[in-house]
Amino acid sequence: MRLMVAKKTKITSHDPYAALRHPNYRAYIIGNFIAVFGQQMLAVAIQWEIYSITNSTFALGLIGLVSWLPIFLFILPAGSLADRYNRKHIVLLTQLLFAACSFGLALTSHFHPTVWLMYVLLFFTGVSRALSDPAKQALLPQLLPEKDFPNAMTWSSTVFQTASMVGPALGGFLIAYFSYPTVYLIDALCALSFFYFIWTLKYTHDAKKVNAKKISIESLSAGLKFVWDTKIILATITMDLLVVILGGAVALLPAYAKDVLHTGPVGLGWLRAAPAIGAFMMATLSAHLPPMKKAGVTLLWAVAGFGVATIIFGLSQWFWLSLIMMFLTGAFDNISVIVRSTLVQVLTPDSMRGRVTAVSYIFIHSSNELGGFESGATAALFGLIPSVVFGGIGSILVVLAVLFIWPQIAQLGSLADPMNKLAKDSTKTS
């Protein structure tokens, strides 16, 4: 009897490091950490440099717009490419383009800082991202067994947030005590480092399993149709899209740091790092706990908490209170990331992962850039503080609207078994 109990305990025990035991996955997240670390430093540097030159919140918003346009234009074709061609090769090529754009920013900043040329280079950085991300995300499930994938998503989020935590803080320090070109050159080296780690992956492209259909309007729209039919995915990514567009204050942090909180680039670096610190702590906690049992309800409360924290940040005149609120927005947002990412990857057939990931990126990642443009334009029209406060209020209203339109989101249970009756029923509902 004792032996049976021991065996049962062994089978049902939770291994918080299951995904990290796979060499391919370890190489992937180490490389991704370095790449994200560089990108986060670049984000701080380009925001502060452009705001220092223009002193315009609308100019900050344009950073989001020129980063969003490539995603809007190329993400769906990129998803089809990821389903037809070697995903590893796609990621390798795009890292070279990332590095070239960062090197171009370094040259521009060193010789003659020209805002319009910076926007052009940011556009091509967005092209790199649009082509890379669907292949990168679709590659991930092929690096480890499916049973370890929820744990892999948690650790991927942890690694991403760690890089997002360290990168901005170090970026602000380098801007204050060294130079903008230093940051851009480091980002170029980070992209090349990710190139190396992806190169080392023991991954074989199986041409027999790829989607054999030619790239067409029908094949491009297949990902949209899958997301539309899978209501639980549609609900989560729609909520994220609207909340990030309305409630994202990150694009305005240079203006808050300089004009409201009266701090410099080092303070800006910490403000940008604070959401990642919150997300890191939440992701680490999630990695050591069993999968959420009531993921839907937890998600709704987390997004509402994000809205409340955004409102308080918008009203704050004190650096430490603002820092705490940014910390909380990251912690709440990480819950959304874990739930949404797990659902998208696990519920999607491998032959469609590239296209469905591309659709998800239209909703999620483009919302960051489009939200940045919205924040900059709104701040230019109505003022800095009102734009952030109204965005936080809008985020809470979005939660109520999503719950009304898709009540099944509140019924979502454990992430340990996303292919439960609710998920299966949602894929059949149109």
User: Is 61 in contact with 252 (CB distance < 8 Å)?
Assistant: no
Q: Rounded CA gap, 348 and 265, in Å? A: 42
The band of 239, judged by pLDDT with boundaries at 50, 70 and 90, is confident
**144-191 pLDDT, tens digit each:** 887 787 788 778 877 887 888 889 989 999 998 899 999 999 999 999
Q: Rounded CA gap, 18 and 32, in Å? A: 18
Does the pLDDT of residue 114 top 70, yes or no?
yes
User: Is 226 in contact with 361 (CB distance < 8 Å)?
Assistant: no
> Class of the 22-202+220-428 domain?
mainly alpha
Does the pLDDT of residue 4 top 50, yes or no?
no
- Provide the CB-side half-sphere exposure for 394 (13 A, CA): 19
- Other Cβ atoms less than 10 A from the Cβ of 197: the count is 19
Domain boundaries, the chain: 22-202+220-428
**70-102 pLDDT, tens digit each:** 888 887 788 788 878 888 999 999 999 999 999
The band of 237, judged by pLDDT with boundaries at 50, 70 and 90, is confident
**11-57 pLDDT, tens digit each:** 456 677 888 888 899 999 999 999 999 999 999 999 999 999 998 98
pTM of the model: 0.74
User: Is 252 in contact with 322 (CB distance < 8 Å)?
Assistant: no
210: left (phi over 0), alpha (psi -120 to 50) or beta: beta
Letter string b/e over residues 131-150, b meaning 16 or more CB atoms within 10 A of that residue's CB: bbbbbbbbbbbbbbeeebbb
DSSP state of 429: -
What is the three-class DSSP state of 263?
A: coil
